[in-house]
């Protein structure tokens, strides 16, 4: 049975993990018979968004770990406690939390910085030859950390057909491969599997689940294969 770490970034598309995507990841892992454990940074969110209006809620603060625990049904640990030696692979669902709390791409674009623990986790799994999965906007983290500009080999990911994100990915020395929402992208050299998911914002939920299912399948199929 594969042991999978799932890295969350809050709860809710505009300031945390995209809930449909996070549930899709957990659903497909469960269907495949994999064991999983959730992790999230124990720190304040970048900001809080009222999901009924889409507007920031001034004066409110929330903790990424506490919010992520809503999705994990309370079974979650701080990201600082995640180490590649304890798991076979790691998956990062998307949502703006990935671009606001795991990195600051939503604010700084190509000049973004990655959360230190998120960067460490990607490097640990990659360096151990263990598969990494990412969907929606989360692949920018892999593209940045593994990009040639950061001294890495360069990565091939999909964030769909978003031109701005693709330009940033290219600037880091990685490459975006346009895939449909129902498809996944496998970078064999880096053992990195990605799916665009809600980067196609109008996609039906069943198609998002299908693409994430292919990403999860791609990650699990590479467990134990070096």
Per-residue pLDDT of the chain (226 residues; tens, 9 = 90+): 999 999 999 999 999 999 999 999 999 999 999 999 999 999 999 899 989 898 888 889 999 999 999 999 999 999 999 999 999 999 999 999 999 999 999 999 999 999 999 999 999 999 999 999 999 999 999 999 999 999 999 999 999 999 999 999 999 999 999 999 999 999 999 999 999 999 999 999 999 999 999 999 999 999 987 6
Q: What is the pLDDT of residues 36-54, one digit of tens each?
A: 999 999 999 989 998 989 8
Measured on CA atoms in the order 121, 123, 124, 125, is the torsion positive or negative?
positive
Q: Does 165 reside within a domain?
A: yes
Q: What are phi and psi of 35, to 5 degrees?
A: -95, 135
Query: Domain holding 162: CATH number?
Result: 3.40.50.880
For 204-217, the pLDDT digits (tens) are 999 999 999 999 99
Residue whose pair of structure tokens reads 């940074």 in the numeric block: 41
Q: Which domain holds residue 214?
A: 3-221
Per the annotation, the verdict on 135 as an active-site residue is no
| 113 in any annotated domain | yes
* Integer Cα distance of 169 and 215 in angstroms: 19
Beta bridge partners of 134: 92, 194
Does a structural domain hold residue 78? yes
- Total domain count, the chain: 1
Report if residue 211 sits inside a domain: yes
Domain presence at residue 226? no
pTM of structure: 0.97
């Amino acid at each position: 049975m594969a042991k999978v770490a799932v890295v969350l970034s809050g709860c809710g598309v505009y300031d945390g993990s995209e809930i449909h995507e996070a549930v899709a990841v957990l659903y497909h892992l469960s269907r495949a018979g994999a064991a999983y454990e959730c992790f999230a940074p124990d720190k304040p969110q970048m900001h809080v968004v009222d999901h009924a209006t889409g507007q920031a809620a001034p004066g409110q603060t929330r903790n990424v770990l506490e919010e992520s625990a809503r999705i994990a049904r309370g079974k979650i640990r701080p990201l600082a406690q995640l180490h590649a030696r304890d798991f076979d692979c790691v998956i990062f669902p998307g949502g703006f939390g990935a671009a606001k709390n795991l990195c600051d791409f939503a604010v700084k674009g190509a000049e973004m910085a990655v959360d230190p623990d998120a960067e460490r986790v990607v490097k640990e799994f990659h360096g151990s030859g263990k598969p990494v999965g990412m969907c929606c906007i989360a692949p920018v983290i892999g593209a940045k950390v593994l990009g040639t500009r950061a001294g890495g080999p360069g990565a091939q990911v999909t964030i769909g057909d978003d031109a701005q994100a693709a330009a940033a990915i290219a600037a880091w020395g990685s490459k975006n491969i346009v895939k449909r929402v129902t498809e996944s992208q496998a970078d064999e050299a880096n053992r990195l599997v990605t799916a665009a998911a809600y980067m196609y914002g109008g996609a039906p939920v069943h198609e998002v689940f299908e693409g994430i299912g292919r990403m999860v399948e791609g990650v699990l199929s590479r467990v134990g294969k070096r």
